[in-house]
Structures are given as structure tokens and as C-alpha cells.
Amino acid sequence: MVLCYRTPHLVIIETIGTIVRPAINRHLVLNIRGLERYHCADTEASWEQIQTAVEKTDKWLSFAAKAARAWKEKKMLRGILRYIAMGLILAVVLVSVAYFSDINRAYERVSGKSTIIPSPYGDIEFAKGGSGPDVLIIHGSGGGYDQGELLVQAELGDQFHWITPSRFGYLRSTFHENATFDDQANAYAYLLDYLGIKKFSVVAFSHVCPSALLFAVLHPERVSSLTLISCGVASSASQDQVQANQKGDAWVTIFKYDPIYWAITKLFRKQLIELMGANDAVIVSLTPEQRKLVDEVIDYMNPVSLRTAGAAFDNKAAMPNDRIAAICSPTLIFHAKDDSLQIYNNAEFAASTIPNARLVSFNRGGHLIMSIEQSTIRTTMQKHILDHMD
């Protein structure tokens, strides 16, 4: 209580103070008390002075409210960022666990299950199995002996004695700079000499066909029959071939690092299948069994870091072109007309250039006919091999 004479103005001030003082900050109290002291000295206080005191208080309250809101917003933002950071850390942990689990499984799959021999062409890695007529299975780009084993399961069966090497630069087979498909063909001959096999059938898939074709050119006496599945044979300047070459370049790019390829197989598998030479219509029409084989081919390319040199070699080595006219072995060719990775021109060229070659073409299937036309290829190829055994 201020002990001095109160004018009507001060009664109003005191009333305001009595009502709002419990709910406002200390600054408002000080302003009102300061005004009371002023009236003790000068009892003729003006309404302008009262208004000034209230305005000052309003400004401080407004500032305090804004500061409180800013503090709350900042606190909320920190909380949101904290949850985001925790979520990202958890995601990284889960992805890392999945990646290392898959990649370790891939390394285990290709470890200790093959044989490696030295040769004039470097180390040659291979696997073998089954019993019956001898068949050399040659894997495609991105493969290795493990992809050859997939080919055996899908198209051949264990009623044949099969041998599947890892080509130059794949898994544990040596890659030398300036190597050629001729060198690879001669390496096959060295391997089969080591195994004591004189004559056999040859089955080749995708971009491996140049070395298989040249093997038949350079060692005709050793080839009882030749089967080509979706194979690259000849160079071409067509726009389709240019686009196919671009896909090949893309494969080489993503084949450099295990984490990149693994991530692409998880996040962009459909696009990866398209890169393998199949269009949308083919992809959506895959049955569960067909898709399973396609997925196995994709997953069996892990770990890609052990196949990088081989994929780069395949993409740049010279095609055999007209040299295949010298092939005298019975030749069976499977190819889809809508293959956009190894275009159909390859099959037409091989069929018209290799004497007495037989072409089995499919209107659709892209580069996935090994999966889509599995039954037809398996039956026809087995008969072709058996019909031409010496």
C-alpha cells in the first residue's frame, strides 16, 4: 500500500494493478509502482502516462510470448531432428546387417567349392559334376563357375558329365591385359587336356559365345556339338546395337563395387532386369518359377568385385564376326526376337554364316529365354547333344 493521496487516476491504476498483478510479470508491477511514486510527487498524473505504462507492459508481454513460442518451436525441432537421427541410425544398422549377411553368404558360396589349376593363361578355376556324356558349360557376362552351375540345373541336368570354368577375370581365374577371346578358347582346350577329355559338347550363354565359337574354330576336332543361348556373335552399327552397347557399359559401371550392386538389386531390381534385356511385358508375365531363376541369376552375380575384370573384358573384346564360317560342328541357336541386350541380329548372322546351323527363335522373352523358355530349351538342347555324341 502506497501511503499518499490518491487521485481518481491513481484509483484506476491501483485497480488495474490489483486485477492483473498476480498474472503478469515483475516488469508490469514495477511500471505501476513507478507511476504511483510519480503521483505521490505530482498528483496530477495524465492518462497518457497510464497508457505509456500499459503499452510498455504489452510490449514486454508480447516479447516474452514470442520468445516462449520460439523456444517451444526450437525444442520441438530438436526433438524431431533427434527422432530423425535415431531413425537414420537404425536404418543404417539394419541395412548394414542385411548387406553383410548377403555378401558374406555370397563369398561363402564361391569359396572352397571349385578347383584351380595353373596354365600358360594363368590360373583356371572350374567346377564339375554329373555323369554321362561330357559337356563344357560356359557362363555369360557377370557370371563365373557358379552361374555355370545354374545353367546346368536349369537346362542340362546331372545325366551329363559337366565342366564349367570361370572365364578370364571371373572369380579366381586370372585376367591378363591384352587377353583375347582366342586366348580364352585355348584356355578351354588346356583345361580339357588336364581333365583328359578329348571331345565334348559345348553350351554357351550370352556374351560368352565369342570364346565358344572360336573354340569350335580353333579346335574343331574336339567339339561334338555347339549350343548357343542368347549369344553375341557379330559387331553391328545399328541403333539397336548402339543401345545394347550402352546397356553393356552400364553393367560394367555397376559391377565395380559390391555395395553398389547389392543396393541396386534391392532397390531397383525391375530396372536391373530391364538392363538384362527384357521389356516390361516380359517382366510382368514371369511366373513365380521363372522369376525365381531370374532372381538367382541376379543374386549369383554377388560378389561383383570378384567379377569386375571379367565383365570389363567381355564388354571390350573383339567379336569373331565372319570367322565363324569355319565352324563345322553341328550348331543349335536359341534367341528371342525382342532381346535388347544381345540383339536378334546376332542369331540371324550366326544361323546364316555357320554351315548347317539350326535357329530356334522365340517372338518374346528378351534376354531371359533361359528362364521363360526353359522347358523347350532343355528338351531340344539335350536331344541335340545326344544326337551328335560320337
Least confident of 29-38, 97-106, 140-149, 260-269: 29-38
Nearest partner of 209 among 174, 244, 190, 234, judged by Cα: 234
User: Where does the pLDDT of residue 8 fall: very low under 50, low under 70, confident under 90, or very high at 90 and above?
Assistant: very low
| pLDDT at res. 19 | 43
CA distance 241 to 344: 10
Q: What is the pLDDT of residues 140-159, one digit of tens each?
A: 989 999 999 999 999 998 89
| pLDDT at res. 75 | 73
Pairing of strands 200-205, 331-336: unpaired
Distance set, CA 182 to CA 40, 121, 218, 287, 327 (Å)? 114, 11, 8, 39, 14
* Most confident stretch, 6-20, 195-209, 272-286, 325-339: 325-339
Residues of the chain with CATH 3.40.50.1820: 117-387
| pLDDT at res. 249 | 82
Which DSSP state fits 319? Answer: P
Q: What is the pLDDT of residues 166-202, one digit of tens each?
A: 999 999 999 988 899 999 999 999 999 999 999 999 9
Quote the CATH superfamily of domain 117-387: Alpha/Beta hydrolase fold, catalytic domain (3.40.50.1820)
106 in helix, strand or coil? Answer: helix
| pLDDT at res. 61 | 65
Nearest partner of 228 among 107, 309, 140, judged by Cα: 140
Q: Report residue 199 as a C-alpha cell.
A: 571331345
CA distance 125 to 174: 9
What's the whole-number mean pLDDT along residues 93-121? 93
Contact 257, 304 (CB under 8 A): yes
CA distance 91 to 372: 36
User: Where does the pLDDT of residue 46 fall: very low under 50, low under 70, confident under 90, or very high at 90 and above?
Assistant: low
| pLDDT at res. 41 | 44
How far from each other are the two terminal CA atoms of the chain, in whole angstroms? 125
| pTM for the predicted model, two decimal places | 0.77
Q: Is the peptide bond before 303 cis (omega within 30 degrees of 0)?
A: yes
User: Where does the pLDDT of residue 255 fall: very low under 50, low under 70, confident under 90, or very high at 90 and above?
Assistant: confident
CA distance 294 to 304: 17
Contact 183, 168 (CB under 8 A): yes
| pLDDT at res. 322 | 93
Whole-number average pLDDT of the chain: 84
What's the whole-number mean pLDDT along residues 201-217? 92
User: Given strand 200-205, what is the order of strands in its sheet?
Assistant: 115-117, 124-129, 161-166, 134-138, 200-205, 223-229, 331-336, 358-362
Q: What percent of the chain has pLDDT over 70?
A: 84
What's the whole-number mean pLDDT along residues 357-368? 94
CA distance 205 to 241: 18
| pLDDT at res. 49 | 64
Q: What is the pLDDT of residues 12-37, one digit of tens each?
A: 444 444 444 444 444 444 444 444 44
Contact 234, 342 (CB under 8 A): no
| pLDDT at res. 13 | 43
